[in-house]
Amino acid sequence: MKNKLHIVTSGCSFTNNFRPNIDPYKKDQDYWKHDEKDIYTWFHWLWRTLGKDSDIEFHNYGAITNDNKTICRSIFYKVNDLVFNKGVNPKDIIVIAQWTSLTRTSWFISPEIYNLNNNCSKNFIEKNDSPPHTNDFIQWDSKENGYEHGYYYLTGGYFSPTNNPDGMEEFAVTYLKTVLSKDERYIDWFDSMIGLFSYLESLGITKIKSFQMNNNFSKSYLDDSKTPPSYEEERKRKSLLGKPMDTYDCIIKEKIICNTWNDSILSNKNPYVKIYSDRINFDKYFWFFEEDKLHKCGGIIEWSIRNYNDKLDDGKYDLPKVLWREMNGMDEDDQRKYLNRSWYGHTSSILARKFVNDIVLNWDILK
């Protein structure tokens, strides 16, 4: 009889729409499976495609605003639970990591510092709000309350310290202003990644793959802040050619992304970073979006922009045919307004389904 397969993932909001093991009203570890189809992530569609009616178990430890270190930590935690507490054979475990923005980080806040009687759990319950930008992935069978054993404070993004307790905002702003750099972030990320991958392989787990939310490596993408391109520059250039465009035209009609084909890779510059990057087998562990003469080192954001069209097959699920799931239910005028405020969004459900069918299911770890 074939052993049960376990697929473990972690990532940010491109993988999960909530924060597991924090909200006392959502203690079900599989709560993510109850999401409506129009906000499905890639992992929802992997579950629907491979495991909904099978005995494959899917473990989603992704959380909103996770950083890459916490993504590694949460995978480490769940794999340990499966192998040492549940007796799962490591050869029956598949690991997929979805890396997030390079600039995010986190710090552990221990119970000795964090006041249980004046905590984030109490605050968000009383306000009937969502949990703040924190992560407490320890399972409910090991705690009575969220944050009981401490939590990870998540900075959430570049110069975006979040509204969390314990006076962390000032500390976070000081870090963002005086310490944060791409080299510092690479060192933290690669150190955690090598530790995780080496540990997994020492256990006998060989089916490991990862992909990025966005391009974390190319010089023009990161140094010149063309993320994915500078649409303001593109609009000006097109206007000079007599083709006035807004961000909607750039991203939806023209599918413009930053050209990184001839870019240098930033992680290859600093010898402190190269200590780590030289030891990572990117061909083995990473999937990158690449398009000849246009883009390399890309992630699901760049893939989404280049693969979106309004004729996408929704598999008879009646899914919104939009680029980002934030645009669900919007007509073209509303989509224009949304994108002109900010180009950013999360890969829509219909595109996440295509990503699984066209990309993820072709990885050797799933064959």
Domain assignment of residue 1, yes or no: no
Q: Based on the fold, state whether residues 159 and 286 are members of the same structural domain.
A: no
pLDDT in tens, 132-144: 788 999 999 999 8
**How confident is the model over 158-181, as pLDDT tens digits?**
545 555 555 677 788 889 889 999
Strands 289-291 and 295-298, bridge-based pairing: antiparallel
Rama region for 98: left / alpha / beta (φ>0; ψ in -120 to 50; rest): beta
What's the pLDDT at 160? 52
Q: Which residues pair with 347 in a beta bridge?
A: 324
- Looking at 163, 195, 211, the residue that finishes a domain is 211
Q: How is residue 262 annotated by DSSP?
A: T
- In a shared domain, residues 192 and 334: no
Computed from CA positions of residues 34, 23, 173, 102, in that sequence, does the dihedral angle turn out positive or negative?
negative
Q: 242 with 177, same domain?
A: no
Domain's final residue, options 183, 211, 239: 211
Residue 97 lies in a domain: yes
Whether residue 70 is found in the same domain as residue 113: yes
Round to whole Å and give the CA distance between 33 and 20: 12
Name the percent of the chain lying above pLDDT 70. 89
What CA–CA distance (Å, rounded) separates 20 from 81?
A: 15
Contacts of residue 307, defined as CB under 8 A and 6 or more positions apart, other chains included, come to 351, 354, 355, 358
- Per-residue pLDDT of 270-285, as tens digits, reads 999 999 999 999 999 9
Are residues 157 and 19 part of one domain?
Answer: yes
- Name residues whose C-beta falls within 8 Å of residue 188's C-beta, 6 or more positions apart in sequence: 68, 69, 105
Question: Could you report how far apart the first and last alpha carbons of the chain are, in Å?
Answer: 19
Domain closes at, from 211, 230, 257? 211
Q: Are residues 179 and 302 in the same domain?
A: no
Please indicate, yes or no, if residue 81 is contained in any of the structural domains. yes
Supply the range of the domain harboring residue 78.
Answer: 6-211
Looking at the structure, tell me whether residues 18 and 42 fall in a common domain.
yes
Residue 124 has pLDDT above 60, yes or no: no
Q: Which residues contact 342 (CB under 8 A, 6 or more apart)?
A: none
Same-domain pairing of 231 and 360: yes
Same domain, 29 and 100: yes
Note every long-range contact of 291-294, with CB atoms under 8 Å and residues 24 or more positions apart, other chains counting.
Answer: 292/261, 293/261, 294/257, 294/259, 294/260, 294/261
Confidence of residue 1 (pLDDT cuts 50, 70, 90): low
The answer to whether residues 359 and 295 belong to one domain is: yes
Average pLDDT over residues 296-306: 97
In the chain, how many domains are there? 2
Shared-domain flag, residues 281 and 220? yes
User: 106: which DSSP letter?
Assistant: E
Residue with tokens 């599918």: 255
Q: Considering only CA atoms, which of 275, 298, 168 is closest in space to residue 227? A: 298
CB distance 366 to 94 below 8 Å: yes
Q: What is the pTM of this model?
A: 0.93
Q: Are residues 40 and 125 in the same domain?
A: yes
**Dihedral over alpha carbons 269, 275, 279, 283 (to 10 degrees):** -20
Classify 108 as helix, strand or coil.
strand
Helices (H), the chain: 42-46, 68-80, 120-126, 168-178, 182-203, 219-222, 231-240, 247-248, 271-277, 282-285, 300-307, 332-341, 349-358
Asked if residue 270 belongs to a domain, the reply is yes
Confidence of residue 2 (pLDDT cuts 50, 70, 90): confident
CA distance 345 to 42: 15
In a domain, 118, yes or no: yes
- 345, part of any domain: yes
Tell which phi-psi region holds residue 190, choosing left (phi > 0), alpha (psi between -120 and 50) or beta. Answer: alpha
